[in-house]
Amino acid sequence: MALRETNPNFMNGVPELLILSLLGEQEMYGYEIVQAIRQRTAAVIAVGEGVVYPVLHGLEGDGALKSRRKTINGRGRIYYSVTPRGARRLADLSQNWTNLTTAIQNILIGGQNAQAVL
């Protein structure tokens, strides 16, 4: 089951968020995503292909992504793009991420009058 409702380890699912976010801008293929993440984050985050491909397959299986084959220079590529369902998923994950970082910031900033802000 790709759907995560059980055991929501609060820190997981970030690769999925990153991938959906990139594909939200433009269609991309797997290998390209691996490098885009590395470059855009100055190698702070370096997810491998072993992370990206399974996420891609999982999201497509859930109907969050759709794919199409293209042949370029005789080499096949599988381009992915987000479906409406994927867009919703992205919005959800994005919101969760914001909530999470805000929550953590509330503790890091710490201090006496720190009130959790919704």
Instruction: Report yes or no: 38 and 51 within 8 Å, Cβ to Cβ.
Output: no
Instruction: Report yes or no: 33 and 22 within 8 Å, Cβ to Cβ.
Output: yes
42, 75, 110, 115: which one binds DNA (CB under 7 A): 75
CA–CA separation, 82 and 65 (whole Å): 4
Q: Could you tell me how far CA 50 lies from the centroid of its own chain? A: 14
55, 59, 64, 90: which one binds DNA (CB under 7 A): 55
CA–CA separation, 116 and 65 (whole Å): 35
Picked from a copy of itself, DNA, none, the partner binding residue 39 (CB below 5 to 8 A depending on kind) is: a copy of itself
Name which of 72 and 118 has its Cβ closer to DNA: 72
- Site residues, a copy of itself (CB under 8 A): 10-12, 14, 17-18, 21-22, 24-25, 37, 39-42, 44-45, 47, 94, 97, 99-104, 106-108, 110-111, 114, 116-118
